[in-house]
Structure 1
Amino acid sequence: MKSIYQIKKIETTAEINQCWDVAYVLRPHLDKNNWNATIAEMMQNEKYSIAGIMDGDKVAAFAGYRIMTSLHSGNIIYIDDLCTLEAYRGKGFATQLLNHVKEVAISLNKEAVVLDTGFNNNTAQKVYLKNGFELVAVHLANRLKK
């Protein structure tokens, strides 16, 4: 029997916990013990939302995004995280999630959907360019030592 995939807004602690395996693929530096608390804080304080593509009760892919305003980009939705589990890649989930976030942005009358990606992440860049994103900036960071 073929699975039916659907996009679902992730809201509960149990749903957030189901996103861990996908998040860890993208962000292996994260600590699973702090995962739920970190996401709950982001949702409460930073207008962070997660849209997940579900395969039954399993999160196969997700996009984490926030509503924000910046002087350089305006009134936007910023995609922090977009990842698909290896076993589900090639099914168009990234495009589905990008379209979903774009629909959310349009419904909220936002000016743009913005994201950053790793400089050498050519696979992701091809997906973004295919989906109407343009290279408009270089993201720089100065890592502070602790």
Structure 2
Amino acid sequence: MDDTYEIKTITSDVEIQQCFEVALVLRPHLDRSKWSGTIAEMVSTEKYTLMGVFHEEKIVAFVGYRIMTTLHSGNIIYIDDLCTLQHYRGRGLGGKLLSHVRAVAEYKNMDAVVLDTGFDNHTAQKLYFNNGFEFSAVHLHAHLK
């Protein structure tokens, strides 16, 4: 098996559909019939970007992020999603995606890269800590549905 990986922006409908399988690893509640429309809306209204790791023309990991301004953190890149297919975990792909996002943030002169993670997602937390992230807040929300 070829161990060559390429990171590039995901823009085509085919690539966006490929991301759905990867997203299910982290977000099993997602609905395939709404996936493309949701991504299109996020891209158009929320400055959402998808960057994928391609291996043999297949997307095996991706990061989804938004550029935004907050009173708390200033001009930031907020990472919504970082997902890797189970078979490709442990190969440093998450770290490569985080490094790529950090490089984008530095190039755009952003103040920070911010993300949320589940309290019990210790594997992801280890990845984030190893890539320079630290705890700075607790994310709270009230379910409406």
Instruction: Output the TM-score relative to the length of structure 2.
Output: 0.97
Identity across the alignment (%) = 60
Q: Which residue of 1 aligns with 2:104?
A: 104
Runs of 4 or more off by more than 6 Å in structure 1? Answer: none
Q: Which residue of 1 aligns with 2:94?
A: 94
- For residues 35 and 57 of structure 1, what CA distance do their matches in structure 2 show? 21
Q: Are positions 1:84 and 2:84 aligned together?
A: yes
Counterpart residue identity of residue 143, structure 1: H
How far apart are residue 8 of structure 1 and its match? 1.1
Q: Which runs of 5+ in 1 are unaligned?
A: none
- For residues 116 and 138 of structure 2, what CA distance do their matches in structure 1 show? 9
Matches within 5 A, 1:1-146: 1-145=1-145
Number of residue-to-residue matches in the alignment: 145
How far apart are residue 56 of structure 1 and its match? 1.9
> Over aligned residues, Cα RMSD in angstroms?
0.8
How far apart are residue 3 of structure 1 and its match? 3.6
- Kept in 1, the 8 Å contact 2:2–2:56? The answer is no
- Kept in 1, the 8 Å contact 2:18–2:59? The answer is yes
Instruction: Output the TM-score relative to the length of structure 1.
Output: 0.97
SS of aligned partner of 2:97: helix
Counterpart residue identity of residue 78, structure 1: Y
How far apart are residue 61 of structure 1 and its match? 0.4
Q: Which runs of 5+ in 2 are unaligned?
A: none
How far apart are residue 9 of structure 1 and its match? 0.4
- For residues 35 and 144 of structure 1, what CA distance do their matches in structure 2 show? 21
